[in-house]
Structure 1
Amino acid sequence: MDKFLLPQLVLERLAEDLQQVEQAARAAHETATHEENIAENKYDTLGLEAAYLATGQARRAEAIRQAMAHWRQFRPLPYDASKGIQLGALVCLVDSDNQQQQLFLGPAGGSMKLLSGDQSVQVISCEAPLGLAMLGKFEGDEVSIQLAQNRQQFEVLRVD
């Protein structure tokens, strides 16, 4: 998979997500303000619940817009073997069960799985635990993270 095309794929997915969230926010707002949903007593909370939902959806839409702004400015650089894994790296990790996974280290707000043909790439940010653990590592290095009671270990197979 070409890492220089991945930011555009992320932006396309974020645009789809934004459209869905905006539709949900509009629907929740319409429900909250519809005359049939005016509270008749203190236990009639449908309008209030819809208003909370609309507010949450509006916040989510704003978070997506901010992520899109970061991704529009982001330009991955070619891998520099003297610096190790940095923002923009496409990394192949293998776990103790010989399961490989492709990870693309991007800016915040783009955590998602992308498919291109039969290839799958997990997009993560440098702020994610695994993203932080990979920074500065080189091919052949071990990467480990602690998740709750489990320690997960990986080996860096390839970096592009």
Structure 2
Amino acid sequence: MLSINQFHQLIRLELDKALASATVAAKRAHETATDSESIAKSKYETFGLEASYLAHGQSVRVAQCQADIRAFEAMFTRLNSNSIIESKGTKEPKVELGRLVLLMDENGKNQYLFVGPGAGGLKIAYEHDSIMVVTLESPLGITMANKRQGDDFSLNVAGNKREYEIIEVK
């Protein structure tokens, strides 16, 4: 499996891609909002106003991507300096920030999750697997926080109750 440094590189690559995409979209939206063609010629023309709302939203997205990068960098620096302090004794590591979790649903389908400080829903491709970032603030993160390998839990997803087992926590 991946080392923490390899995973750091993969996630940083995906975060950088998200930032680049958001930056391009923000630039386009700003250019559209400030273009002379966007100036309203009557009180009924709202294209310029709508373009300025879009430009603002895109700039917020850029700021969020930058904040996600800073949060992940800080987390990985902390993890590297602590060498991911492992639990001593017989207890397995618990689901917490910086952990890679392998879940199995009631149908036997496995899913890798990485508990991160932000960028929830971001997917990282690794070999034949996809690792999805979840935060401890998400419904899934809240439900599985502090659980350990072998623990079961259920979660309501779109009105349907789903059962999960934690297969591994790294």
Q: Normalising to structure 1: TM-score of the pair?
A: 0.91
State the percentage of identical aligned residues: 36
Where is the helix percentage greater, Structure 1 or Structure 2?
2
- Between the aligned partners of 1:79 and 1:120, the Cα distance in structure 2 is 25
Deviations 1:102-158 (A, max 9, x none): 111111235311111212211111111111211111111102222342221101111
Instruction: Verify: 1:92 aligned to 2:93, yes or no.
Output: no
The equivalent of 1:12 in structure 2 is: 13
Shift of 1:29: 1.2
Deviations 1:54-105 (A, max 9, x none): 0000011111111111001113425534552221111111111111111111
Ranked by relative contact order (alpha carbons within 8 Å, sequence separation 6 or more), the top structure is 1
- Between the aligned partners of 1:101 and 1:13, the Cα distance in structure 2 is 19
- Alignment map for 1:51-66 (pairs within 5 Å): 51-66=52-67
Of the three residues 75, 85, 107, the one matched with 2:117 is: 107
- Alignment map for 1:1-160 (pairs within 5 Å): 1-4=1-4, 5-75=6-76, 76=79, 77=84, 79-80=86-87, 81-160=91-170
Kindly indicate whether the alpha-carbon contact (under 8 Å) linking 1:87 and 1:107 is maintained by their aligned counterparts in 2.
yes
Kindly indicate whether the alpha-carbon contact (under 8 Å) linking 2:144 and 2:153 is maintained by their aligned counterparts in 1.
yes
- Between the aligned partners of 2:96 and 2:21, the Cα distance in structure 1 is 32
**Which stretches in structure 1 are left out of the alignment for 5+ residues?**
none
Letter in 1 for 2:150: G
- Between the aligned partners of 1:141 and 1:79, the Cα distance in structure 2 is 18
The DSSP-based 3-state class of the residue aligned with 2:149 is: coil
The DSSP-based 3-state class of the residue aligned with 1:59 is: helix
Shift of 1:19: 1.2
- Between the aligned partners of 1:95 and 1:68, the Cα distance in structure 2 is 30
Per mean C-alpha deviation after superposition, the further-off stretch among 74-83 and 38-47 is 74-83
- Between the aligned partners of 2:110 and 2:86, the Cα distance in structure 1 is 20
The DSSP-based 3-state class of the residue aligned with 1:74 is: helix
Per mean C-alpha deviation after superposition, the further-off stretch among 132-141 and 61-70 is 132-141
